[in-house]
Amino acid sequence: MERTLIIFKPDCLNQRHVGNVIDRFEQAGFTIVGCKMTRLAPALLRAHYAHVADKPFYPALEAFMASRPVIVMALEGENVVQRVRDLLGPTDSRKAAKGTIRGDFGTDVTINVVHASDSDANARIELARFFAPYELYEVNG
């Protein structure tokens, strides 16, 4: 059983799509094993987005992600990392197919509804970055 780190980005909350997105995750059979609302500090964002921190778009990305409190969630399921990425669609919402979360609710390449971990190894690192061990639950069923 695998886990992944989800962030409901500011656009998702502002446009009130959180329920729709959770519904897709639940319909896919995934289990919520952690969830909280939090404001993301610049230092945390720089760590989370270290792979793009030197890109020209990074300041706009950081400002967007810090623009309001967000919801972070841990999801569990078989092959959940790849299956959630498939549900999201590609990074650029404008290139995402209808029926995907980004294709249906996203705006562009920055404002794209949801973050999801891209590998099992990164999921473990990201879950530890956003959740204390006692905030992640062992859930049966």
| Smallest distance from ligand UDP to CB 118, Å | 5
Shorter beta-carbon distance to Mg ion: residue 118 or 120: 118
In the complex, the residues that contact ligand UDP under the rule CB under 6 A are: 49, 52, 57, 61, 91, 109-110, 112, 115, 118
| Smallest distance from Mg ion to CB 116, Å | 8
Shorter beta-carbon distance to ligand UDP: residue 28 or 109: 109
Q: Which two tokens stand for residue 139?
A: 């859930």
Rounded to an integer, what distance in angstroms lies between the CA atom of residue 96 and that of residue 104? 8
Residue 110 interacting partner from ligand UDP, Mg ion, none (CB closer than 5 to 8 Å by kind): ligand UDP
Residue with tokens 């062992």: 138
In the complex, the residues that contact Mg ion under the rule CB under 5 A are: 118
Residue 112 interacting partner from Mg ion, ligand UDP, none (CB closer than 5 to 8 Å by kind): ligand UDP
17 catalytic? Reply is no
| Smallest distance from ligand UDP to CB 53, Å | 10
Question: DSSP per residue over the chain, as a string?
Answer: -EEEEEEE-HHHHHTT-HHHHHHHHHHTT-EEEEEEEEPPPHHHHHHHTGGGTTSTTHHHHHHHHTSS-EEEEEEEETTHHHHHHHHH--SSGGGSPBTBHHHHH--SSS--SEEE-SSHHHHHHHHHHH--GGGS-----
Using an 8 Å Cβ cutoff, are 93 and 107 in contact? yes
Q: Tell me the residue nearest to Mg ion as measured from the CB.
A: 118
Residue 15 interacting partner from ligand UDP, Mg ion, none (CB closer than 5 to 8 Å by kind): none
Shorter beta-carbon distance to ligand UDP: residue 24 or 115: 115
* Residues designated catalytic: 115
